[in-house]
Structure 1
Amino acid sequence: MVPVQSVEDQMKAVLDCVVTEDKMPTDLSTTLKLFINKLDECSRSSIKRCKERSLEEAGQLLRKIPVKQLQCLEERLLLPLIRLLVAMQMQMFNIASRKLDQMLQHLAEVNRLLVFREIQRCLCTIVGKDQALSIGDLQRACMFLEDSSIGRELWREACPSLLDKVAELFPVILEQEGLRNGPLCYQAVKVCLQVFQLLPGEVAPLVWEKEQGSLAVQSILQSLMDIILGQCSNRDTRLLAGTTVAMLINTVLEGGEGGAAAWSLLQVTHSEPWRLCVGGLQVQCSPRSQDGVDRLAVSRGLLTCCRRGILVSQVDNTGVCHRMLMLTDISSSFVLMEFSSANLENVVSDSRFSLLLQTCLLLGGLFPLVSALCEEKLDCHYYVFEGTVKPNQCVYMCFCKCKRNESKKYLSIKSTFIKTYV
């Protein structure tokens, strides 16, 4: 196995290549030296703002070099430069990592295959290893998902492999108290969240096509529900898991199936074991802790992640979920399509509209859940208050054209927040 070079060693190697290259034009050589010096400044600095400034200046220098001039560089000069940027990106996150991604995109205009090949090699070191994923592997996977446009594009192809590795990791984590309550579990949940959020097109067929339901995704869903329901005692991880399950539901292409899954998730209020159905996936849920965090995680996740079509979905007497209310945005005005022949005052007083308000997911399911949480003595009131704001924002977005006095009677669900602020 070839030893991995440090960023400092790679920096020196790239600079040596530039210095010893006789055929390189003087202006190109000078600019590249300045560029590498700025990268070196960034690498040595421990102050975030200084790092970002050095990277910004490095990016400006690189963009000054015409693509045609960079295309004259041989692969033996270009490849070490690409590897250096990727190595630095794997050590940094957020703004700094995105600035490095912009530089790699610029070099991709010079040699797209070379950049893609190098990043793909890094992804293979994550999903191609025989051992379980480490926290470093998970952090790098997150970085290539969130902060690397090229990495995200390559993850689309490797999405099943990544999900398989995460599915293998969760049982190992949940078996040991130290792991399930620590940063490794949180990071594993975060990877799932980013995959579901950023690669919905790749995830959706694994969930919603009943003939192709993925065992890996089902295993992940089972682990996420175990975390939400109390197998993990870390509150932040449980809340993140709630958001992740809601994001999985949000990958649905048609609101009806997503609404049915969201309604199924509201069984979290049950004290007895229950079954969660999300598309073609089914998992058994056994409550372990009746501390309210499970219900908070679910309600917060659904309100934060789900599209409007899911939030206004309704379950009929047969248990079939469908969209009773179709909302569209025309010139910033929400129109109630099903009642388009009536004026708005008549819509609000229509008995069918009253029934909808009582039975749609947002008002018939989530409002009562959040209301009950408000009245309980929990040690996480900040999150509960945040949960009360979300449904009211959703109601405003969905029903903002209803007269205040008329709609008020339909929103008079027993809620501390509603009583106080409406």
Structure 2
Amino acid sequence: MNGAGGELERAVACYRELARDEGKSSACQGLLLALGKLEAFASVSAKRWKDKNLEEAFQLLAGVSGRLADLGCDDALRPLVRCVLAFQLETTDSSGSFSRLEKIIVKLSERNESLVSGEVERILGSLAKDDTPMSRGTLQTVSMFVEESTLGRCYWKNNLMTLLGCTAATFDFLLQGRGAKDEAWCYVTVKVCLQLFKWMPKEIFPLIWGGTDHNKILQKILESLVQIIMEKTACKDTRLLAATALSMMVNTAPDSQQGGQAAWGLCHWLSLGGGPVRWKEDGRVSTEKEEFRFGMLQLVPSVWSPDGWEQLALTRSLLASCKKEILSCRLDGTPHQVGL
């Protein structure tokens, strides 16, 4: 049997065998009780009972944690770790269950962080490879581990360029018409971008604002987010999420001036249908279309037909998500020191 059910069976068999040793029996019995709660969690459908079984599994493991040294070998925890991670992989559509399983993972990592970290790397390492588009299910798994898992987030920080490359490839696949129109797939791709900008601003910063060999990946992601915001046929929730992701990109700016200029420029870029803000000598905004620079990235003039929703989405997202110092800064080089 594969999946969480198979890992559960293997873990139960392992600890039953170890329990034959009198010195390990007490610890193993505690682990078997916890595994029983995981089995009960998998067998019920009501959220209340799922939550109850996971909480009881955590309490049982917390109670036996002081006796885990009796197992003699830290590697003896591996079957349990693999079982819990397998259940996490099968609950990526439920943040409540996932986060309760994460509590168990955190507790186990207190005993042997290197073992748990290695198992997390093993399961996540197969998800993103060689600038290949990721499926909707894979992206949902990535999203949940970025948002809810400390070790998962650490793994993706260390493998950020691989994940960004696959995300850009997914956008290309979806937006260039090579994949069937799937709004949920597009939504979760945007969601992963937003989470990376939110949780890893220090790692994202040089890719946008510094000169690196990886700017082209963020360039593609920026273009894709703008395309989604401007796409009239896209779901409004997806367009709003893309605008929020852009706001998170603005937050990675090295200072409020550069962040403010990027936000102000984006607003005018969208309002002019693909043209950046330029101030005339008389203090009016020029409508001449030129390229717009966002840090080291750039947007070139495009043929768009705005419907007004893109401005509403971006304005709302900037006000809700941008840093206060960016929103309140006075922009240099603008008439009367215009602020956002």
Instruction: Report runs of 4+ in structure 1 exceeding 6 Å deviation.
Output: none
- The structure with the largest alpha-carbon Rg is 1
Query: In structure 2, the residue corresponding to 1:25 is in which secondary structure?
Result: helix
Q: What's the TM-score once normalised by structure 2's chain length?
A: 0.88
Matched residue count:
321
- Aligned residue among 329, 336, 339 for 1:313: 329
Q: Is the 8 A contact 2:58 2:104 kept in 1?
A: yes
Displacement of 1:211 after TM fit?
Answer: 5.0
The residue number in structure 2 matching 1:208 is 209
SS in 2 for 1:315: coil
CA contact (8 A) 2:142 2:192 kept: yes
Per the TM alignment, residue 115 of structure 1 is displaced from its structure 2 partner at its CA by 0.6
Does the CA-based 8 Å contact 2:173-2:179 persist in structure 1?
no
**Conservation of the 8 A alpha-carbon contact between 1:68 and 1:110:** no
Local SS of the residue matching 1:66: helix
Which residue pairs with 1:245 in the alignment?
A: 246
Tell me which residue corresponds to 2:161: 160
Question: Is the CA contact 1:273–1:287 (under 8 Å) kept in the aligned structure 2?
Answer: no
> Which residue number corresponds to residue 112 of structure 1?
113
Within 5 Å, which residues of 2 pair with 1:251-400?
251-267=252-268, 268-271=270-273, 273-274=275-276, 275-284=291-300, 286=302, 288-316=304-332, 318-319=333-334, 359-361=338-340
User: Whole-Å Cα distance in 2 between the matches of residues 277 and 48 of structure 1?
Assistant: 48
For the residues of structure 2 that align with 1:157 and 1:246, how far apart are their CA atoms?
24
- Specify the alignment match of 1:53 in structure 2: 52
Task: Tell me which residue corresponds to 1:15.
Answer: 12
The CA distance in 2 between the partners of 1:185 and 1:33, in whole Å, is: 42
Greater mean deviation of Cα atoms: 174-183 or 252-261: 174-183
Rounded to whole Å, the distance in 2 between the matches of 1:99 and 1:281 is: 40
- Residue pairs, 1:65-104, within 5 angstroms: 65-67=64-66, 69-70=68-69, 72-74=71-73, 77-92=76-91, 93-104=94-105
After superposition, the Cα gap between the structure-2 partners of 1:183 and 1:149, relative to the gap in structure 1 and judged at 3 Å, is same
The 1-side partners of 2:206 and 2:274 are apart by 31
Residue 360 of structure 1 aligns to a residue in which SS? coil
Structure 2: distance between partners of 1:173 and 1:34: 46
**SS of structure 2 residue aligned to 1:31:** helix
CA distance in 2, matches of 1:212, 1:36: 48
5+ residue gaps in structure 1?
321-354, 362-422
Please, which of 2, 8, 13 is the counterpart of residue 5 of structure 1? 2
Distance in 1, Cα, partners of 2:303 & 2:316: 18
Partner of 1:126: 127
CA drift of 1:111 comes to: 1.6
Do the aligned partners of residues 233 and 128 (structure 1) sit closer, same or farther apart at CA in structure 2, a change above 3 Å counting? closer
Letter in 2 for 1:140: T
Q: Shift of the alpha carbon at 1:227?
A: 0.6
Deviates more, 1:208-217 or 1:175-184: 175-184
CA distance in 1, matches of 2:294, 2:69: 50
1:25-40 pair list within 5 angstroms: 25-40=24-39
Aligned to 1:226: 227
Report the Cα offset of residue 104 of structure 1.
1.1
Range with greater deviation from structure 2 (282-291 or 257-266): 282-291
Q: Percent same amino acid at aligned positions?
A: 32
Greater CA deviation, 191-200 or 268-277? 268-277
Tell me which moved more, 35-44 or 99-108. 99-108
* Structure 1 residue 132 displacement after superposition: 2.2
Tell me how far 1:289 sits from its aligned partner: 3.9
Amino acid at match of 2:126: T
User: Residue 133 of structure 2: SS of its match in structure 1?
Assistant: coil
Q: Given the superposition, is the C-alpha separation of residues 90 and 175 from structure 1 closer, same or farther in structure 2, using an over 3 Å criterion?
A: same
Call closer, same or farther: CA 1:63–1:48 in 2, change over 3 Å. same
